[in-house]
Amino acid sequence: MVVPPPDRAARIVGFLKPYLLRMHFSNKYVTAQVIHTPTATVACSASSQEKLLRPNLESTRDVSAAAKIGKLLGERLLLKGIPAVSIHMKREQKYHGKVKAVIDSVRESGVKLL
């Protein structure tokens, strides 16, 4: 006999979406992407390599560039209808500097962080 999972309230199910925020910082660029984990596809991404964004940035690798990338990613997530994401940080990443700038900018744009 198979036991079905318990019913959850609609307000809880709205935030149980399997989206994962990943960030990558190279010596030249800042990249952030949101991955849909069940299908292993990129749902949304933003990078300082984008041609339309480069003229607006003073530097493509500093904290201010990371904040702009986070803001842009948050706006794109809301346009796609993704209200919440969870964060994946590598072992050596700490909540400081560029990582903090990306995460805070995504949060300020209106996306919930789980």
- pLDDT score for 88: 81
- pLDDT score for 66: 94
List the domains of the chain with CATH numbers: 12-113 (3.30.420.100)
pLDDT by 10s per residue, the chain, length 114: 566 656 655 555 555 558 999 999 999 999 999 998 878 889 999 999 999 888 888 988 899 999 999 999 999 999 999 989 998 888 888 889 999 999 999 999 999 988
What are the phi and psi torsion angles at 101 (to 5°)?
-65, -45
Q: pTM here?
A: 0.81
Structure tokens at 97: 């500097």
Structure tokens at 36: 């849909």
